[in-house]
Amino acid sequence: MAIPKSAKFKYEIIQDYKVSNGKAGRFAAGKPTWVVVHSSGNPNAGIDSEIAYMARNQDYAFVQSWAGHNKIIEIANTDYPAWGAGRTANKYAVQIEVTEDKRLTKSQKLQAIDREAFWVAVQCAYYGIPLNKVYSHADISRMYPQDTNHTDPIAFFKTVGVSWSAFKEQVKKYHNVLVAGGDTNKIASLGAKNTTVTASKQSASTSTGIVKKYAEKGVFYPNETIIVRDVPSTKANIVARYYKGENLTYHTVHIGNGYVWLEYLRNNGKSGFIPIREYNNGKYGKVWGTIK
How much is the pLDDT for 193?
60
What's the CA gap between 211 and 86, in Å, rounded?
30
How much is the pLDDT for 234?
86
How much is the pLDDT for 196?
39
Task: Please state the pTM of the whole predicted model.
Answer: 0.73
pLDDT digits (tens, 9 = 90+) for 34-55: 999 999 999 999 999 999 999 9
| Of residues 237 and 168, more confidently modeled | 168
Q: What is the mean pLDDT of residues 6-31?
A: 92
Average pLDDT, the chain: 91
* Structural domains for the chain: 13-186 (3.40.80.10), 210-291 (2.30.30.40)
Q: Is 14 helix (H, G, I), strand (E, B) or coil?
A: strand
* Strand boundaries in the chain, DSSP class E: 13-15, 34-37, 65-67, 72-74, 93-98, 134-136, 210-222, 226-229, 238-242, 248-256, 259-265, 271-280, 283-284, 289-291
Cβ-based neighbours of 206, under 8 Å, separated by 6 or more: 256, 279, 280, 281, 282
How much is the pLDDT for 1?
54
- Tell me the DSSP string of 243-280: -TT--EEEEEEEEETTEEEEEEE-TTSSEEEEEEEEEE
Q: What is the mean pLDDT of residues 23-36?
A: 97
pLDDT digits (tens, 9 = 90+) for 97-143: 999 999 999 999 999 999 999 999 999 999 999 999 999 999 999 99
pLDDT digits (tens, 9 = 90+) for 152-203: 999 999 999 999 999 999 999 999 999 999 999 999 999 876 433 444 433 3
| Of residues 95 and 257, more confidently modeled | 95
